[in-house]
Amino acid sequence: MKRIVTREDYVQSLKDLRSVVYYNGKRVEDVTGHPAMQPHINSAALTYELALRPENEDLMTAVSHLSGKKINRFTHIHQSVDDLIKKILMMRLIAHETGSCFQRCVGFDALNATYMTAYDTDQKHSTDYFERFKKYLLHVQESNVMVVGGMTDPKGDRSLSPSQQADPDLFTHIVERRPDGIVIRGAKVHMTGGVNSHEILIMPTQAMKEADRDYAVACALPLNTPGVTLIFGRQTNEERKMEEGPDAGNPRFGVVGGEAMIVFDNIFVPWERVFLCGEYDMTGLFVERFATLHRQNYGGCKGGVSDVLIGATALAAEYQGTASASHIREKLAEMMHLAETIYCGSVACSAMGFKTPSGAYYPDPLLANTTKHNVTRHIYEISRLAHDIAGGIIATMPFAHDLENSDVGDYVRKFLAGAGGVKTEDRMKILRLVENMSGGTALAESMHGAGSPQSQKVMYGRLGNLEQKKRWAKKIVNID
């Protein structure tokens, strides 16, 4: 594939890719022309656009440790604590520009998790996955493609292991091993940015046992591979993305990340793109590494998105004449406190990062899990306060088209007029933005993206060192 540098390159590459995509029961021939997908494309395109601005070079680009060339940071393998921190700063920067998900961080984390785990798998099993992956990584860096991080399987009956499922395809698995590669079948769900990405890097979704050997697979493939089908997921108020004017909410960048189900129907993958094949004892480490890297992000991207929501909420208060009230100022201060708290977590786990045997740097896993767990709580509280300040109007406001109606338009303008001469249209735009950013899909993604709260509590049990905490308590009161 031709190297992607500009926004125009990115859009053209999606036109050329022609992946099999379905939206609301219909095949989409060109995702770049579909109004439901345009906002997600715009958001991802900013990861290319911003990298070309000189003032962003330090955050948005890096130097490849493999080629020595300047690359987009979203294709980089972290080489220092400084890289880990710049990742978070970059994410907050982009979130300020979009007020939405920009989608490339999942693939970014998948690249880093696979790099580290391929190295460790080679050390334990005398395989050659690490060299294969480095060649694949060079391809990603040179072409600057957008990669989906393929972690989550449908899972079926979650009380059963992959090999115990009534339908074996509910976890992605190997159905054939050939001299030239493998054949896989299954699906990955909640795939952020799936319909506007170029490739998927598939990873195991959970720790596995010997009986699950065929499910222990990591590999990469282009999304236009025959047999791959992408089914776009519904989102809250998705029709708003097809509208212009005050009702759109976030008309340019939409809601969250355009998640999709990606189906693999007997897909051939050549050996050079296979990075785990049956080494079930490495799956737990693989999942933990990806989860830690992805949970590291959330204070950066959600902190940045929260900044925009806080700004929109403050404007809503100004437009209705309540901004000077002490309780409004107090609530806005609390929203800022919560946003900075989750941001602190991302910076802290990055600052406490360390070098792995592969040479790649890795954030502190306990602090990364704490960051994500705070997001599952604080984003809901930020949104609750936004609803409190903005008022019930965000749930009952008339349609923007009513403004254009000769019978009722004047009524809407008259009775929704803002304080101090604020135009009704401007007030409606801000209120719709608050609604867009503080409900439905956006909240669910904050809860379950990078793992539900329970998965972080599991990691607390593993990483929290409770026995050491008991020893400290005993020592203070002189218990042997």
Q: What is the mean pLDDT of residues 221-232?
A: 98
Catalytic residue among 259, 288, 318, 435: 259
- 53-57, 176-180, 251-255, 335-339: range with lowest mean pLDDT: 251-255
Q: Which of 114, 117, 121, 192 is catalytic?
A: 192
- Give the three-class secondary structure for 127: coil
259 counts as catalytic: yes
Task: Give the amino acid at 216.
Answer: A
3-state secondary structure of 177: strand
Q: Which of 199, 238, 279, 445 is labelled catalytic? A: 445
Band of residue 445 on the pLDDT scale cut at 50, 70, 90:
confident
Residue 258: the pLDDT is: 86
pLDDT digits (tens, 9 = 90+) for 396-415: 999 999 999 999 999 999 99
Other beta carbons within 10 angstroms of residue 1's beta carbon come to 15
CA–CA separation, 469 and 473 (whole Å): 6
Look at residue 43 in the predicted model and tell me its pLDDT. 96
Q: What is the mean pLDDT of residues 328-344?
A: 98
- pLDDT digit string (tens) for 264-282? 999 999 999 999 999 999 9
Question: For residue 317, what pLDDT is reported?
Answer: 98
Mean pLDDT of 326-350: 98
Give the total residue count for the chain: 480
**CA 162 to chain CA mean position, Å:** 25
The residues, ordered by sequence, that sit 6+ positions from 128 with a Cβ below 8 Å of its Cβ are 122
Q: In this predicted model, what pLDDT tens digit does every residue of 375-390 receive, in sequence order?
A: 999 999 999 999 999 9
pLDDT band at 247 (very low <50, low <70, confident <90, very high): confident
SS3 call for 100:
coil
**Tokens coding 267:** 């897909």
H or E element at residue 457? helix 453-463
pLDDT digits (tens, 9 = 90+) for 30-76: 999 999 999 999 999 999 999 999 999 999 999 999 999 999 999 99
Nearest to 121 by CA among 204, 183, 65, 205: 204
Structure tokens at 36: 């439901």
Nearest-CA neighbor of 115 among 350, 367, 293, 303? 293
- What pLDDT, on a 0 to 100 scale, did the predictor assign at position 417? 93
Confidence of residue 439 (pLDDT cuts 50, 70, 90): confident
Residue 231 Rama label (left phi>0; alpha psi -120 to 50; beta)? beta
**Average pLDDT of the segment spanning 337-353:** 98
Give the residue-averaged pLDDT of 78-99.
98
Active site residue 65: no
Mean pLDDT of the chain: 96
Question: Is 294 annotated in the active site?
Answer: yes
Q: Is 376 an active-site residue? A: no
Instruction: Please give the pLDDT value at position 135.
Output: 98
Predicted local confidence at residue 248, as pLDDT: 83
Angle at 141 between CA 139 and CA 146, to 5 degrees: 90
Annotated catalytic residue within 219, 277, 301, 349: 301
Would residue 96 show up in a list of annotated catalytic residues for this protein? no
Per-residue pLDDT for 243 more than 80? no
* Amino acid of residue 132: R
Is the pLDDT at 443 greater than 90, yes or no? no
Options 298, 343, 361, 362, the catalytic residue: 298
**343-362: average pLDDT:** 98
- Does 404 participate in catalysis according to the annotation? no
Overall pTM > 0.85? yes
Inter-residue contact 356 to 347 (CB < 8 Å):
no
* Domains of the chain in sequence order: 7-279 (2.40.110.10), 285-463 (1.20.140.10)
Share of the chain above pLDDT 70, in %: 100
Window from 217-221, 255-259, 461-465 with minimum mean pLDDT: 255-259
Catalytic option among 198, 294, 373, 378 = 294
48, 76, 105, 127: which is the annotated catalytic residue?
Answer: 105
pLDDT score of 293 more than 80: yes
Check 48, 101, 173, 318 and give the catalytic one: 101
State yes or no: is 277 an active-site residue: no
Burial 332-363 (b: 16+ CB within 10 A, else e): beebeebbebbbebbbbbbeebeebebebbbb
Is the predicted pLDDT of residue 238 greater than 80, yes or no?
A: no
| Three-state secondary structure readout of 371-437 | HHHHHHHHHHHHHHHHHHHHCCHHHHCCCHHHHHCCCCHHHHHHHCCCHHHCCHHHHHHHHHHHHHH
**What pLDDT digit, counting tens, does each position of 137-191 carry?**
999 999 999 999 999 999 999 999 999 999 999 999 999 999 999 999 999 999 9
What's the pLDDT at 15? 97
Clarify whether 105 is annotated catalytic. yes
